[in-house]
Amino acid sequence: MKILMVCLGNICRSPIAEGVLRHKVKEHGLDWTVESAGTNSYHTGEAPHKYSQKVCLEHGIDISGQRARTFTKNDFDTYDVIYAFAGDVVADIRKIAGNAEMSKVKYFLNELHPGKNESVPDPWYGDESGYLPVYQLIDETCNAIIEKYK
Ligand code: 4NP
């Protein structure tokens, strides 16, 4: 199972999801690949946002070694599931996809609330208080992903 988490910048939301799901995959002894990317390249090469790192570390997960990268069309060949974190991310992925098969692309939160096509709130635009609720939402959704595919 190869999973890619995709948000806009790959510094706030999807790096948390990469760290959290990798942690759970290890706990369950599963042989999955979990990575993340962003549809824009503004932050390519950067470590996750300091508050994303902090909230993960407070839950025993060190994501400081992760680096942002840009989503590419080749990712459609590499991954089984591509989780989009928001509606604007789906629109970006569709543009990058060209003739690639969009059926691999799913709203991340549909694993928690099927069929609702909800977006994970972007904490980038707020202060530190936004990061814990986002972490908790991601954690809950990663539990659902483990239960579904393990
Ligand atoms: P993310 O948050 O998509 O959760 O990583 C963002 C980070 C940076 C920007 C937008 C969203 N930005 O426009 O720089």
- Look up the CATH number of the domain holding residue 124: 3.40.50.2300
How many structural domains compose the chain?
1
Catalytic choice (22, 56, 75, 122) = 122
Task: Give the binding-site residues of ligand 1, using a 6 Å CB cut-off.
Answer: 7-13, 38, 42-43, 122, 124
Residue of 7, 12, 56, 142 with catalytic role = 7
In this prediction, residues 133-149 reach a mean pLDDT of 98
* Average pLDDT over the chain, rounded to an integer: 97
Residue 37, in any domain of the structure: yes
pLDDT in tens, 95-108: 999 988 899 999 99
Residue 132 placed within a domain: yes
Which pLDDT belongs to residue 101? 84
Pairing assessment for the beta strands 33-38 and 105-107 based on DSSP bridges: unpaired
The CA 9 to ligand 1 mean position distance, Å, reads 4
Q: For residues 118 and 16, give the distance between their C-alpha atoms in angstroms, rounded to a whole number.
A: 18
Ligand 1 atom at minimum distance from 86 CA? 3
Per-state percent for the chain, helix, strand, coil, to nearest 5: 45, 15, 40
pLDDT at residue 100, as a whole number: 83
Pairing of strands 81-84, 33-38: unpaired
pTM of the model: 0.98
Nearest in space to 124 (alpha carbons), one of 35, 29, 16: 16
pLDDT in tens, 16-49: 999 999 999 999 999 999 999 999 999 999 999 9
pLDDT surpassing 90 at residue 128 = yes
Q: Does residue 148 belong to any structural domain of this protein?
A: no
Domain region containing 45: 2-143
Whether residue 149 lies inside any domain: the answer is no
Is residue 85 a part of any domain in this protein?
Answer: yes
68 assigned to some structural domain? yes
Tens of pLDDT, residue by residue over 35-94, are 999 999 999 999 999 999 999 999 999 999 999 999 999 999 999 999 999 999 999 999
Ligand 1: which residue has its CA nearest to atom 3? 8
- Does the pLDDT of residue 144 top 90, yes or no? yes
pLDDT at 33: 98
In a domain, 69, yes or no: yes
Is residue 13 part of the annotated active site? The answer reads yes
> Is position 122 within any domain?
yes
pLDDT class of 5 with cuts at 50, 70, 90 = very high
| Ligand 1 center from residue 43 Cα (angstroms) | 8
C-alpha 3/C-alpha 22 separation (Å) is 10
Task: Kindly state the DSSP code that residue 29 receives in the 8-state scheme.
Answer: T
Told to judge if 139 belongs to the known catalytic residues of this protein, a careful annotator would answer no
- Confidence at residue 80, expressed as pLDDT on a 0 to 100 scale: 97
